[in-house]
């Protein structure tokens, strides 16, 4: 199907102008895979949305190993893809070296800051969004014990956990937040079985709302939560539809918007650091028909109020990555 699209796109481009297909955008997915129902899939969604709306054509590649990063970026840049969007902090170092060699190509990196004149760095205030879903978790919890399941134990995921814990404590200072990380290797991003195990272990400790920030592993967390009849919170993409009525909400990290905007801006896009937070809808919580009954009016009012206060600076949510520590846990 993708091949078909490439052919059709190439044919269309040839019909319009011979050079047009040369500036097709490209997206590079990090280890973990395109269809993780989460981070990478959000990026894919943004690229697809752009393709459907503009009828354009784009190139995509999934990373399989560390050594492929440089190769993929250089190959895409040399074959004329522009802009080249990549998901994940792990590209940071490589991009820093590759970008100066291709000054005419625009690069966009998500989740990392790379200081080069032709690079746009998109970073998200995940702690703010996590704070809001933490509040919702505390309000929805009957046991006063909520859970957090992270993917790989890295500072970025601790940032999610820290924001979440702060949100929980802001509603119920006596609440217990049980935190687990899936693993210490990149495999932790794609281990639904381990996600199920950890969720069941947390349930046995009294958890009745669990927040998964674990890429593909989160699919298992949400599954186990639905099976055991507790609430779960999805991440990155809107995952409410995975188990209607069982997923309290999803902490939306609009990676899709970042990719879509980059593709729309096209070659020569404005570079620099883009911080996507609550103020510019870069993060937020998801409400749709699948979880409308779970989100009470009171919950919504409180969360929206907190959101406004975070934007205005009245509530300061601590960012774990600013000092590698968390005031609450």
Partner 1 sequence: MTVMPKWADVILVPLISLFLALAISALVILAIGEDPVEAVQLMIEGSVGSIRGWGYTLYYTTNFIFTGLAVSVAFHARLFNIGGEGQASLGGLGVALVLLFLPWPHWTVALFAAMLGGAAFGALWALIPAWLQAKRGSHIVITTIMFNFIAAGLLNYMLSYTLKPAGSGDPASAKFSPSYDLPTLNSILTDLGIQAARDDSVNVTFLIALLACVLVWVLMWRTRLGYEIRAFGHSETAAKYAGISPLKITVIAMLISGGLAGLMAINTVMGEAERLVLNSTGGAGFIGIAVALMGRSHPIGVLLAALLFGFLYQGGAELSLWTSIPAQLIVVVQALVILFTGALDNMVRMPIERMFLAMRRG
Positions touching partner 1 (CB under 8 A) are 1-3, 6, 31, 61-62, 64-68, 70-72, 74-75, 89-90, 92-93, 101, 111-112, 152-156, 184-186, 321
Helix axes 297-312 and 126-140, enclosed angle (nearest 10): 150
CB atoms within 10 A of CB 116: 17
Q: 148 vs 285, which CB is nearer to partner 1?
A: 148
**Residue of 128, 129, 111 lying closest to 120 (CA atoms):** 111
Q: 126 vs 256, which CB is nearer to partner 1?
A: 126
Token pair belonging to 85: 């969007």
Shortest Cβ 187–partner 1 spacing (Å): 9
Q: 54 vs 185, which CB is nearer to partner 1?
A: 185
Q: 65 vs 312, which CB is nearer to partner 1?
A: 65
Shortest Cβ 282–partner 1 spacing (Å): 17
CB atoms within 10 A of CB 117: 9
Rounded to an integer, what distance in angstroms lies between the CA atom of residue 215 and that of residue 255? 13
- Where is 231: in which H helix or E strand? strand 231-236
**Beta carbons of 218 and 38 less than 8 angstroms apart:** yes
Shortest Cβ 91–partner 1 spacing (Å): 9
Q: 61 vs 306, which CB is nearer to partner 1?
A: 61
Shortest Cβ 113–partner 1 spacing (Å): 9
Q: 92 vs 266, which CB is nearer to partner 1?
A: 92
Dihedral pair phi/psi, residue 248, rounded to 5°: -60, -50
Q: 154 vs 328, which CB is nearer to partner 1?
A: 154
Cis peptide before 83 (omega within 30 of 0): yes
Rounded to an integer, what distance in angstroms lies between the CA atom of residue 123 and that of residue 18? 36
Shortest Cβ 264–partner 1 spacing (Å): 24
* Cα atoms found within 13 Å of the Cα of residue 220, Cβ hemisphere only: 21
Rounded to an integer, what distance in angstroms lies between the CA atom of residue 131 and that of residue 134? 5
Which DSSP symbol is given to 178? E
Shortest Cβ 154–partner 1 spacing (Å): 5
**Beta carbons of 260 and 46 less than 8 angstroms apart:** yes
Shortest Cβ 101–partner 1 spacing (Å): 6
Shortest Cβ 43–partner 1 spacing (Å): 16
Rounded to an integer, what distance in angstroms lies between the CA atom of residue 212 and that of residue 154? 14
Q: 48 vs 71, which CB is nearer to partner 1?
A: 71
Return the residue matching tokens 């291709």: 102
């Amino acid at each position: 199907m993708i091949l078909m699209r490439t052919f059709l796109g190439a044919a269309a481009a040839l019909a319009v102008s011979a050079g047009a297909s040369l500036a097709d955008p490209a997206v590079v997915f990090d280890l973990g895979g395109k269809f993780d129902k989460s981070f990478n899939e959000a990026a894919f969604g943004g690229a697809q949305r752009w393709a459907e709306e503009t009828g354009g054509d784009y190139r995509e590649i999934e990373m399989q190993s560390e050594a492929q990063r440089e190769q993929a970026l250089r190959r895409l840049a040399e074959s004329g893809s522009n802009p080249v969007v990549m998901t994940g902090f792990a590209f940071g170092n490589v991009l820093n070296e590759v970008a100066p060699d291709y000054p005419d190509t625009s690069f966009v990196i998500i989740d990392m800051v790379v200081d080069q004149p032709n690079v746009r760095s998109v970073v998200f205030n995940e702690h703010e969004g996590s704070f809001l879903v933490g509040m919702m978790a505390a309000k929805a919890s009957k046991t006063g014990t909520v859970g957090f399941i992270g993917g790989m134990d890295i500072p970025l995921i601790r940032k999610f956990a820290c924001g979440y814990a702060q949100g929980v404590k802001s509603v119920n200072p006596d609440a217990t937040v049980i935190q687990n990380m899936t693993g210490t290797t990149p495999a932790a991003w794609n281990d639904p079985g381990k996600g199920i195990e950890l969720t069941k272990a947390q349930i046995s400790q009294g958890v009745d709302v669990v927040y998964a920030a674990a890429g593909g592993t989160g699919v298992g967390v949400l599954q186990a939560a639905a099976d055991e009849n507790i609430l779960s919170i999805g991440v990155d993409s809107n995952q409410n539809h995975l188990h209607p009525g069982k997923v309290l909400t999803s902490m939306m990290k609009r990676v899709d918007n970042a990719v879509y905007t980059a593709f729309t801006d096209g070659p020569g896009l404005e570079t620099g650091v883009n911080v996507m937070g609550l103020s510019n809808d870069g993060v937020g919580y998801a409400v749709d028909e699948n979880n409308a009954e779970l989100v009470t009016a009171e919950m919504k009012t409180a969360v929206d109020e907190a959101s406004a206060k975070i934007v205005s600076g009245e509530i300061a949510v601590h960012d774990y990555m600013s000092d590698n520590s968390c005031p609450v846990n």
